[in-house]
Every structure is written in structure tokens, then in C-alpha cells.
Amino acid sequence: MGFAVLLALLLIVGAVVARRRWGRARDLSDVSELSDLDAEADANRWVVRLGGSLSALDVRIRAEASAGAEAGADVIAAQALTAAAERLRTARDELATARTAAQYALVTRTAVEGLAHVRTARTSLGLDQAEADGLMRIG
């Protein structure tokens, strides 16, 4: 009788240990996969935001240029927009090949740099600064 109790106890302890190890390994793999997916979604959101900011600002600049805006501001804005467009192209290329959270973080950083250039263009043109401040809020 004592042998059967000891055997049952060992089987129960073994099952609990195996279950914990299997559950922990599964949880760790899910976390890393979700982490990459979250990083991808975040990077994609910043790239889309940069693209939208560029297209909206490009329309405004064309409208102001036709209305006779200051020439110096146009040069600064054009340079900033060129830099922002380059960051957008780079971020899109990086996003297409990224597979890890670190690579997606690089995409996000590139897109945020582009948004900084968009802000420079907005500031040089004297557009609504409160609206431009919203571009740099990360979160």
C-alpha cells in the first residue's frame, strides 16, 4: 500500500512540474511573437502617420505658394519636405524587410525623424504650431 501511495505522489509531482515547464515555454514564445507583432503594428502606424502628414502638408504648401508665400520659407520647407519624403521611403523599405522587434524599432525611429522634418516645414511656413506639436507626441 505504501508503494502505491509513493508512486501516485511521484506521478502527481512529475505531472505538475511538466505542466509548469510546458506552460512557461509556451508563454515565453507567445510573448516574443506578440512583441514582434506589436512592434510591427506600432512601426506601421508611424509610417502611415508620416505619409499622411506629408500629403497634407504638400497640399498646404502648394496652396500657399500659389498665394505668394515668403520665398525663404518655401526653400526651408522644401528642404524639410525632401528630407521627410526620404525618411518615408526609407521607413517603407525597412518595414517591408523587418522581422524582429529591433528592426521595427528602427522603422519607428526613421518615421519619427521624418515627422521632425515635417514639423520643421510647418514651422518655417508659420502653420498652426499647436497642430504641429501633436506630430511629435509619441504614445
pLDDT digits (tens, 9 = 90+) for 41-61: 999 999 999 999 998 776 566
Contacts of 58 (CB under 8 A, 6+ apart): 81
| Cell numbers for 18 | 511538466
Q: Is residue 3 part of a domain?
A: no
Rounded to two decimals, the pTM is 0.63
Q: Is residue 91 part of a domain?
A: yes
Contacts of 62 (CB under 8 A, 6+ apart): none
Range of the domain at 102: 34-136
Q: Is residue 70 part of a domain?
A: yes
Q: Is residue 23 part of a domain?
A: no
pLDDT digits (tens, 9 = 90+) for 49-94: 999 999 877 656 655 555 555 566 678 888 999 999 999 999 999 9
Number of independent structural domains in the chain: 1
Residue with cell 501511495: 5
Cα separation values, 65 from 20, 28, 76, 125, Å: 66, 55, 13, 10
Separation between Cα atoms, residue 6 and residue 4, nearest integer Å = 5
